[in-house]
Chains A and B, each alone.
Chain A
Amino acid sequence: MKTKTKNDLLSLGACFVVYAIIQALITFGVIGQFWQLNIVLIGINIILAVSLNLINGFTGQFSIGHAGFMAVGAYLGAVLTVKMHLPFIVAILGGALAAGFLGFVIGLPTLRLSGDYLAIATLGLGEIIRITILNIPYVGGASGFMGIPRYTTFTWLFFLTVFTVFFVKNFINSTHGRACISIRENEIAAEAMGIDTTRYKVLAFTIGAAFAGVAGALFSHYFYIAHPASFTFMRSFDILTMVVLGGLGSITGSIAGAVLLTFISAALASYPEWRMVIYSLSLIILMIYRPQGLFGNKEFSLKMFSRLTGGGKRGTAQGK
């Protein structure tokens, strides 16, 4: 227990250092607006990927409706700040609670499904949320919710991202998290061991949805606009791609996937003809050579390096 806390504190310390460095570089103008924007996108994508990984990777429930929960957070957050003039923190909490609640309500019936059926149900759900929003004139309908102030700063983003990652990590290492993993490994065996599978599935789904809501609120308060076209199933697939690319069941994998894909997309912005080709090619190559994703279900750690440099038979480490 003690070493665990110590390690947590160490990583938190490392995060602070990283934060300080990047914040300083932004303040002194070394990082321009374009890369600031992409750092924000990376952060938002990390939150989305890690939260989806909790549902898809750790609990083994194949959900592809994450963009819908993101939309709920984005719109509710915007309503709270623009129409009700409440502070940003309320918008984030409100977005998270609303998305989480929706996840809970929807999770109860749909999580009784499994495999393909669940995937289709969640896909439909994401579209239902989007189309509902599309037809609410109060939030701008088809033209989108405009005039949202830019409240999302690097500070907000960074600490919410760190919070998400630590929350999910600690959740997985808790009793509840292990119950979730057992459902992924073998649902019948888990049930036989006395685990209330529906309860844990819904719990993971709710938490995942709530964090998607946080990401949504951050998103709409950075891009000045919440537009239904930003939350189509294509975005759900984007998030899913990040999770699968990094490795289902690996938090560091999700982080790496989110960073890599956002980065590729930004770096190729000047070559629109090649962007989708390179993007698709890299995915195909990865799926051929590493079908389990970059990190598999392992976590990236310094141990990998010691194993690699130590050489020998245990060279199965997943690091790069």
Chain B
Amino acid sequence: MFKKGLGLALGACLLTGLFAGCGGAGTGGSANEIKIGGNIELTGGVASYGKQTMNGILLAFKEANAAGGVLGGKKLVLVQADNKSEASEAGNAMTKLITQDKVAAVLGPVVSGNVLAVSQIAQDNKIPMLTPTGTNTKITVGDDGKVQQYAFRSCFIDPFQGKVMANFAAKSLKVAKAVIYMDSSSDYSKGLADAFSDTFMQNGGTIIGKEAFLQKDQDFKSALTKIKAMNPEVVFIPAYYEEVGKIVKQARELGISCPIIGTDGWDNSKLVEVAGADALNNTFFSNHYSSQDTDPRVVKFVESYKKEYNEEPSALSALGYDGALMIIDAIKRANSAEPEKIREALEKTKDLQVVTGILTLDASHNPVKSAVVIEMKDGKQTFKEKVNP
């Protein structure tokens, strides 16, 4: 009897899933709205990035709807799906958005690893996806060198940032001896380290040492002591703010006083909380935009974002906003909400005025636009210089 029960239980369990399947199917969009999916990291390790990006997207949609919507008064609706900051959950969320909610296009995910995990699903279902912040090169151009037809992005790619910072170190800081301290558990960090060292050496500099740490590490002093002994003129840390904050703090405590430079992973208000304002003096990082930029588009965006959320928009918010603008622009130009037509229009994005610059997509679906270098002064981000591609 026990075995029979076992089989029956198994059956019953699988049937549960089945009934749910029947109930969930067949939710189409109504005639006067266009559904866009948001496959975003709302919980889990990088939820803070996800939330900021989501705010940017929502603001862009709200403004577009307030201005009368698209395609003759249709409203844009963002269908959110949380991917828990994890690759297989991102696939799950993507499948849900495309097949259950039947969205016309998908914005997200935020982190490169999750984007890479879902691009095949977008491809299979022929739905365009646009990641606001996934900077890995492989997102738009696969290992075989072919452009991923359905994948787009609104941010620049990793090698570009590495180049920007290498040029900045060599030309603006005028240094020749650099140490790279990277996060060996992050592909983002590794890619940036490579791009930085290539360009830095082309500029006549030398990389005198390379050290690595792992995400979630707490104590960096042994590696930092080693770095101090190398006596570098600049330390490049391409990593995310949580570790960077601790590293900068401990580095200054150990007496490493040279400039410390990094990339857009630094951009978070928590950086100052963790490292302290003093330790962050004489540090620079590249970013997608600066909220202090006096460009009228930036000023307008910062103003309306502050009004809506009562906080300063980060680069992620700006990129989320820009990603949404790209989709809206593509829908308008395609004059249709069909995924295939949106994809075609996205490919032809040209001279689109967005917050992070004037954006044109190149043949491999990567935006060509400028980057900014930000200097930390007494705990405040200040706009240092704008670097054009």
Contact = CB atoms under 8 A, between A and B. Distances in A.
Interface of A: 4, 7-8, 10-15, 17-18, 21-22, 25, 30-39, 41-42, 46, 131, 134-135, 141-144, 146-147, 161-162, 165, 169, 219, 223-225, 227-230, 251-252, 255-256, 259, 263, 266-267, 269-270, 272-273, 275-276, 299-304
B96 interface: yes
Interface size class of B (residues with CB under 8 A): 35 or more
Given A144-B113, A225-B117, A259-B17, A4 B3 contact: yes
Given A8-B3, A18-B15, A300-B5, A142 B80 contact: no
Contacts of A266: 20, 92, 96
10 contacts: A12-B7, A21-B15, A33-B99, A134-B185, A161-B10, A224-B91, A229-B87, A259-B13, A272-B80, A301-B2
A169 B185 contact: no
B11 A17 contact: yes
B95 A42 contact: no
Contacts of A7: 1-4
A71 to B, nearest CB: 12
- Chain A binding site: helix, strand, loop or mixed by DSSP? helix
B21 A30 contact: yes
A110 B329 CA distance: 60
A225 B25 contact: no
Contact of A18 (B10, B25, B189, B190): B10
Listed from nearest, the 4 A-B pairs whose CB atoms lie closest are A11-B7, A301-B5, A272-B82, A35-B21
A175 to B, nearest CB: 18
B308 interface: no
A255 B21 contact: no
A31 B19 CA distance: 9
Interface string B179-191: 0000011110110
Contact of B14 (A18, A131, A141): A18
Contacts of B185: 131, 134, 142, 228
Interface in B164-205: 184-187, 189-190
* Most-contacted residue by chain B among A143, A267, A273, A299 (CB, 10 A): A143
Contact of B6 (A18, A38, A267, A300): A300
Interface string B8-29: 1111011111101110110000
Contacts of B92: 34, 37-38, 41, 266, 269
A131 B212 CA distance: 13
A45 to B, nearest CB: 11
Given A18-B11, A38-B92, A229-B113, A299 B6 contact: yes
A33 B98 contact: yes
Given A4-B3, A301-B5, A42 B14 contact: yes
Given A219-B88, A230-B86, A39 B14 contact: yes
B63 to A, nearest CB: 23
Given A18-B10, A33-B98, A143-B138, A303 B117 contact: no
